[in-house]
Amino acid sequence: MILTADIGNTNVVMGLMSERGKLESRLRFPTDKRRTVKDFMIGFEALVNMHHFDFSNVEGAVVSSVVPELTDSVVQSLRIKVGEDPVVLSNKLELGMTIDIDTPDKLGVDMIADAVGAINEFEGNLAIFDMGTATTCSVVNADRVYLGSIIIPGIVISQDALTAKASQLPFIKFEQPEHLIGRYTVDSMRSGVIYANAAMVDGLVDRIVDELGGPVTTILTGGVSILIKDACRREVVYEPSLLLKGLWDVYHMNHA
């Protein structure tokens, strides 16, 4: 059993993972840069107590953080609770792949975790779309070389900006539209969210195939990707636990 902490720009997700990608317990709360070591210790204690585990069942911990202001507090709290330093994901760890970009230190660790999870599950060239606060597409070739990425404003950010700037457009729930061509405003906006993002995935993968000169497996994860996957014309694989699988892999490659 390992403890996982995924510190994102929108949420912090704590997990208790018994096997690759399988969370026995999960605790999610909004990201707040003011949270202290004590706050996280309480969170980890609550996580374990949910299923009546105790910390003797926990062999270690792994942290993925894109919010540097919170990383030290999480690491300190895990060190106290688990009794050893957690594995903190970075490009300097053993990853099972080569990162061949100009600024590897700037590559988001969530994108690293996604890529590690993907290369241990799929073969060949990979295009990995993570639809979170931002939509990111990581490209890894068949030789397990991380070639680079594409970063797009996230679906929620884009929709919020549209609503904020266009006074007659309402906030909407992300749901499947009734038609591609909407008959009323809300359905038209839903169509834009779902089909425009699906078309983006299809179109970008077409171009990635051209650039790599060979077939590409397309993987969707994160956010509202569950709504996008069925609207894609290209064949895509929906893998909601990809980042967690990557954290599991990184932990076991780097835990002494």
Beta bridge partners of 137: 129, 150
Tell me which long-range contacts 190-194 makes (C-beta under 8 A, separation of at least 24). Answer: 193/155, 193/159, 193/224, 193/227, 194/227, 194/228, 194/231
Residues with Cβ within 8 Å of 13's Cβ and at least 6 positions away in sequence, in order, are 4, 5, 6, 26, 27, 28
- The tokens for 21 are 């990608």
Residue 132 and residue 135: Cα distance in Å, rounded? Answer: 6
CA-closest candidate to residue 141, choices 101, 194, 89? 101
206 belongs to the catalytic site: no
Q: Which of 6, 110, 130, 187 is catalytic?
A: 110
Residues with Cβ within 8 Å of 72's Cβ and at least 6 positions away in sequence, in order, are none
Contact 3, 44 (CB under 8 A): yes
Residue 252 and residue 138: Cα distance in Å, rounded? Answer: 22
Q: Which residues are catalytic?
A: 110
